[in-house]
Amino acid sequence: MFGGDSGGEGPQDDGKGWMDVSLAAAGVGPVARLRAVLESLVDPHVLLLLVRGADDRMDDIEFVDANAAACTHLGTAYEELIGSRATDVRRQPIDPTLMRALAELLVTDDVVALDDFPVEFDGESRRFDVRAVNLGTALSVTWRDVTEGHHQTARFQALAENAADIVLFSRDGVLQWVSPSVTDVLGWTPGECVGLTGDSFVHPDDLDLMLESRVLLYSGRPTGYRLRMVRKDGGIVWCEARGRAIAGDAGGVEGAVVSMRDITDQVEAELQTEAAEARYRLVAEHVSDVVYVADPDGDFAWVSPSVEAVAGWTAEELVGTPVALLLAPEDHATREELRKVVFGDARSPEPVEVRIRTRTGARRWVSVRADPVLDADGVVAAAVCSLRLCHSEVVERWAAATLSAGTALLVTATDEQELLVDMCETAVRNGGYRLAWYGRKVHAPGCPVAIVAMSEAERTYLDGFAATWDDGPLGQGPTGRALQSGRTCVEQDMASNSDYAPWRERALLHRFGSGISLPVPVNGAVDGVLNVYAAEPNAFEPRVVALLEDLARSLGFGVERLRDRRNLEVAFANSIDLIAAVVESRDPYTSGHQVRVAELSTAIACRLGIDQQRIQGLTYAATIHDVGKVGVPIDLLSRPGRLAEEELALIRCHSQIGWEIASRFEWPWPVADIVRQHHERIDGSGYPLGLRGDEILLEARIVAVADVYEAASSRRPYRAALGGDRARAIVSGGSGTLFDAEVVGAFERVLDDGFTFAVPVQRP
């Protein structure tokens, strides 16, 4: 994504290729122009000018450019090679056949493809695969030395022609003799084959090939070909066949000898290789990347034709214009950073993602890779860049990030309104969207849509915003249609759709390109619509819509869960209040005791940093910790004076009775165990189980401290209230023996902070 004018002039483009266009526009010499491409090739590659003699016949070639592989193969340094002629380099005439092929290329514009081409090279006969392309003013030539492969092929042919795999002798197409190896390969005996025509064993699909080869063979030319033979058991065998005609005494052809070798394994391996090569070739031929050359000033020097398919602009329209014009303004800083790395540091940075502006004004995400091109002095003269369209990948990544972060919110959400706000913020923060808001139907005249939650970013878009869910103009936007139909509605281009006209001006002001309205189902009905806006048009492709619809469904489940949980909490609270009231109706002297114990227990738990969910269960357990007293005779609960030991034993049963009662409820917390353990003590002296230390639930240890403090602070039938200071001293004195030391420490800090009971303690 770069460009500039370096002050020089190069050859003009005559329509034959991009090199001269790049040269003229970027001011780059031939070495710099091709260096980035040529040096990446393994095969030798040169750029040639054809030199004509006095009779206008081509008698030499001049080297204009070459890669390192060509210099190595020709044994000539680059500086010596460029500008020299082939006769200078090789000190011998150019092969006439090659010269004719190259001369013909200039006339016909065809591509020269010479396979296994023989050339005398350095006094040795060598074989080459040659490819040449006419560039108008020059020839682009690539070659590969295949001499060793040719020798191997020759040796292979000699072995194949004399092999005894299968040897057939035929006269007039009828088999006269067959080697015994036919049985190993095809399963037929020689006796079964003699007298039949050679095509009796050929696969039907290869009959034409065999007949064509027979014509060539009987014309006196040796033949070699591959075909499929049919085994006696019906199986297929690939064979390589080579034949030679047998001349008769009177001239002409009397018969033929054909040798056939089983190459089934080889063919299958080749077919697999060819299939893989075909796939790679197909990808290479249809690659949609845009390649361009940019000069140091930031102008396009050359652009590949594929830019039209990606951005709608033709290459001719872009050449000479600033690269920045193709980019979204938000990405100019990213481009500038790339230019600094490429032109300043002469390095190839990691690919970056930016937005390009298409001819229609739409924005598309592309991945940009840039590499510097150095001139002969080692100075960066241009940059070769590639753009790969990645719009779908980017918008899907946004949606996936939103879904992932939004799903994580549902796990920890405890409040419906907070969940909706957090979901909107998540869409902007994690998904890269510009605005998200949640709307619900209002059942009132005009059918307005209420804005329930929104993200902070771009929230001014909603100032004065109005939408409805009726059939009026304000109900035809995606929000209204989604609320009416219960189906997702997408607005891919806010600037062009007439249905979006009421909101278009404010959308363009906030740089919104597209939006989506996602119905959120709760308990089988549409609770509301989650609206998400993106900066780019067409940001909500089918895969993105599917991901965000998953998020909307998950959000609906989350709202359902919170509402069910709230209903359950209300039911729990009502049940707890009822149980507490029953207990206190039987023991009026301890009226408010359980509520105050719950109040203090909650304060201690908060000081200890226990999470709110756990505190909720603790509060419920503390509120009914004495529920077991319903099983204790009422006269024992209210009798003044000291009780006998057996009477105390009856009262102590209330912990176990309370556990039995609380266990009948389905609690999401260990309420029953807290009730049973609230009279246990750290040193094991408590009841009913005699638990010690950490065997006692932390919640029960908290209730134990709060219970003793509240009881000591209040009046009882058998004694006067001891007061807060005395009650505190009792608890603190039991720290580490009767009570958990950490809990006692938190209890003391709560009192030091000025804690008081909301329900007054009974005083003497």
404-436 confidence digits (pLDDT tens): 777 777 777 778 898 899 989 988 888 889 999
Positions of CATH 1.10.3210.10 in the chain:
587-752
Query: Scanning the structure block, which residue is given the tokens 């390649």?
Result: 291
What is the architecture of the domain spanning 587-752? Orthogonal Bundle (1.10)
**Is residue 190 a contact partner of residue 179, using CB atoms and an 8 Å limit?**
yes
Report the mean per-residue pLDDT for the chain. Answer: 80
Q: CA 696 → CA 131, 421, 532, distances in Å?
A: 87, 40, 50
The C-alpha atoms of residue 324 and residue 343 are separated, in whole angstroms, by: 16
Percent of the chain predicted with pLDDT > 70: 80
Specify the fold of 152-269.
Beta-Lactamase (3.30.450)
Mean pLDDT confidence for 371-378 = 83
The C-alpha atoms of residue 121 and residue 282 are separated, in whole angstroms, by: 36
Mean pLDDT confidence for 133-149 = 78
Assign residue 178 a region (left: φ > 0; alpha: ψ between -120 and 50; beta: otherwise).
Answer: beta
**Is residue 369 a contact partner of residue 354, using CB atoms and an 8 Å limit?**
no
Quote helix, strand, coil % in the chain, to nearest 5.
45, 20, 30
The C-alpha atoms of residue 733 and residue 392 are separated, in whole angstroms, by: 69
**Is residue 501 a contact partner of residue 460, using CB atoms and an 8 Å limit?**
no
The C-alpha atoms of residue 469 and residue 732 are separated, in whole angstroms, by: 64
The C-alpha atoms of residue 403 and residue 411 are separated, in whole angstroms, by: 13
**Is residue 352 a contact partner of residue 329, using CB atoms and an 8 Å limit?**
no
Query: Scanning the structure block, which residue is given the tokens 């090679």?
Result: 81
Percent of the chain predicted with pLDDT > 90: 23
Task: Give the residue among 745, 732, 737, 656 at the shortest CA–CA distance from 693.
Answer: 737
**Is residue 584 a contact partner of residue 590, using CB atoms and an 8 Å limit?**
yes
What 8-state DSSP symbol labels residue 396?
H
Q: Of 69-83, 151-165, 496-510, which range is least confident?
A: 151-165
The predicted pLDDT at position 18 comes to 40
pLDDT band (50, 70, 90) for residue 19: very low
Q: Looking at the domain that runs over 395-563, which CATH code has it been given? A: 3.30.450.40
Query: Scanning the structure block, which residue is given the tokens 């001891």?
Result: 722
The predicted pLDDT at position 465 comes to 92
Query: Which pTM was predicted?
Result: 0.42
Task: Give the residue among 706, 714, 718 at the shortest CA–CA distance from 744.
Answer: 706
SS3 484: helix
Ranges of beta strands (E only) in 508-606 are 514-522, 525-534
609 pLDDT above the threshold of 90? yes
The predicted pLDDT at position 601 comes to 95
**Is residue 188 a contact partner of residue 201, using CB atoms and an 8 Å limit?**
yes
Helix boundaries (H) for 43-144: 68-74, 78-81, 86-90, 96-108
Positions of CATH 3.30.450.20 in the chain:
41-145, 152-269
Mean pLDDT confidence for 122-134 = 79
Write the CB contacts of 621 (distance below 8 Å, at least 6 apart in sequence). Answer: 662, 669, 670, 671, 674, 675, 678, 699, 703
525 pLDDT above the threshold of 60? yes
CA Rg, the chain, in Å? 45
The C-alpha atoms of residue 702 and residue 601 are separated, in whole angstroms, by: 6
Q: Looking at the domain that runs over 41-145, which CATH code has it been given? A: 3.30.450.20
Assign residue 628 a region (left: φ > 0; alpha: ψ between -120 and 50; beta: otherwise).
Answer: alpha
The C-alpha atoms of residue 186 and residue 202 are separated, in whole angstroms, by: 11
Over residues 215-244, the pLDDT tens digits come to 888 777 778 888 899 999 999 999 888 888
Positions of CATH 3.30.450.40 in the chain:
395-563
